[in-house]
Amino acid sequence: MNVVDSPLGAATTLAELAEDPHARLALLRAKEPVSWIPEMGGWLVTRRDLALNVMRDAETFTVDDPRFSTAQVVGPSMLSLDGDRHARHREPFAAPFRPRAAHDGFAAFIEKETDRLITELEPAGAGELRRAFAGPLAVAVVTEALGLIGTTSETVLAWYDSIVQSVSDITAGLEAGPAGVAAYAQLRAAVEATVADRNTASLLVSAAGRLTVPEVASNAAVLMFGGIETTEAMITNALLHLLRHPDQLALVRADTALLDGAIEESLRLEPGAAVVDRYATRDTVLGPAIIRRGDLVTVSLTGANRDPAVFPDPDRFDVRRENARLQLAFAHGPHYCLAAHLARLETRIALQHVLERLPALRLDPDHPTSPHGLVFRKPPTLHVRWDRAT
């Protein structure tokens, strides 16, 4: 297959992929699993086996390209480098995010922050859980993990909003505004101050023993970016899936061990990061397509996660699905999400406490919502109601 052999891709719009992509992705996966999308200016990979091939083969499909959107805003980091340079940037940050370390280091903080946020919400009997709960929790955990001195969760959230907007603009082919650059400059200054204060015990100070301060700052931005954006989406999407499916919610309430399955299944159906970008380093063949050196190759994690060859009845939300952990929401290969264990821990604690403390939790029928986004997918809002204590 080459560019002219992608009629379905030619008819695919970015608006459709941002609004409700699943029917289009299913069609592409079945007919054009590696499809040229003119509006993207690149290939879209929707079949799971081919998605794995791309993410595993960093020598052929690299992130290390001047077009990589995040690097244009924050500079080179573990997210935008491959090979030995990638390992050098990633390894200084890895230890706190390993399974046991993540639990021991963060569980108590997550529990406390979760309960604080729910206590603020509880008396109202109604609220919007994305920006009043999931987002603030994700910001607080990232702020705690980075150990930035002289900053608050509100400051970190403002930086994050500006940086995400710039990255999203670049990804959509637009010119990024100045806010992202300004926010990153402020983050970098905070990193420099933290590293300079040798009395501070933090992940950033530890990493500065092996990386330069600008390198620490760029990776801090990536951790902030991923830790807030995708974890906020994990919590919000999982709540939405459970509340949309009362039968599945009832199963989870009856057996809290199923909560982990619910989280994996939600990640499968709506990964917070819908796509990952790679760039071909050489001419190659991928499935039915001939890829040319320099071509953009975008993996649709959303499409791969609903591949019926792996997930029977792929559009169904099933908290007891036996192979839900084969989902690719955290990517795969050398760029597998560094903080996946922490994100799972945070989401599990958040969901468990919300379901325990907000009786008869349900969607607010006056504010319908659905996941939205081309690159990052979550509902713009999640309005809910619950029964107030009498």
- Average pLDDT value for residue range 79-98: 95
Q: At 325, which CATH number? A: 1.10.630.10
Q: Quick: pLDDT tens for 156-206.
A: 888 888 887 887 788 777 888 888 889 989 999 998 898 888 677 788 988
Domain assignment of residue 390, yes or no: no
Q: Quick: pLDDT tens for 24-60.
A: 999 999 999 999 999 999 999 999 999 999 999 999 9
What pLDDT is recorded for position 181? 87
What pLDDT is recorded for position 99? 94
CA-wise closest residue to 29 among 291, 264, 315, 340:
315
CA distances (Å), origin 327, targets 111, 265, 322, 330, 354:
26, 8, 11, 8, 25
Higher pLDDT, 17 or 175: 17
DSSP SS3 for 224: helix
Phi/psi of residue 42, nearest 5 degrees? -165, -175
- Average pLDDT value for residue range 322-349: 97
Instruction: Name, in order, each residue with C-beta under 8 angstroms of 176's C-beta and a sequence gap of 6 or more.
Output: 72, 73, 165, 166, 167, 169, 170
Query: In whole angstroms, what is the distance from residue 276 CA to residue 48 CA?
Result: 13
Domain assignment of residue 162, yes or no: yes
Per the structure, the count of domains in the chain is: 1
Q: Quick: pLDDT tens for 200-229.
A: 778 898 899 899 999 999 999 899 888 998
- Residue 197's Cβ-side half-sphere holds a number of Cα atoms within 13 Å equal to 16
Q: What percent of the chain has pLDDT over 90?
A: 78
Enter the tokens of residue 346. 């945070």
Q: 71 pLDDT band (50/70/90 cuts)?
A: confident
Please, what is the average pLDDT of the chain? 93
Listed ranges 139-143, 186-190, 300-304; the one with the highest mean pLDDT: 300-304
Residue located via tokens 């050098």: 88
Query: In whole angstroms, what is the distance from residue 105 CA to residue 153 CA?
Result: 19
For 276, the domain range is 3-385
Q: Quick: pLDDT tens for 283-297.
A: 999 999 999 999 999
Q: What is the pTM of this model?
A: 0.94
DSSP SS3 for 252: helix
Listed in order, strand segments (DSSP E) in the chain are 34-37, 42-45, 61-62, 126-128, 275-280, 284-286, 289-291, 296-300, 362-363, 383-385
What pLDDT is recorded for position 152? 86
Tell whether the model's pLDDT for residue 116 goes beyond 60: yes
What pLDDT is recorded for position 270? 98
What pLDDT is recorded for position 4? 53
Enter the tokens of residue 96. 């706190």
Query: In whole angstroms, what is the distance from residue 20 CA to residue 37 CA?
Result: 17
Query: Helix-strand-coil percent breakdown of the chain, rounded to 5?
Result: 55, 10, 35
Q: 74 pLDDT band (50/70/90 cuts)?
A: confident
Taking only Cα atoms into account, the Rg of the chain, rounded to an integer number of angstroms, comes to 21
Q: Quick: pLDDT tens for 220-261.
A: 989 988 899 899 999 999 999 999 999 999 999 999 999 999
Domain assignment of residue 307, yes or no: yes
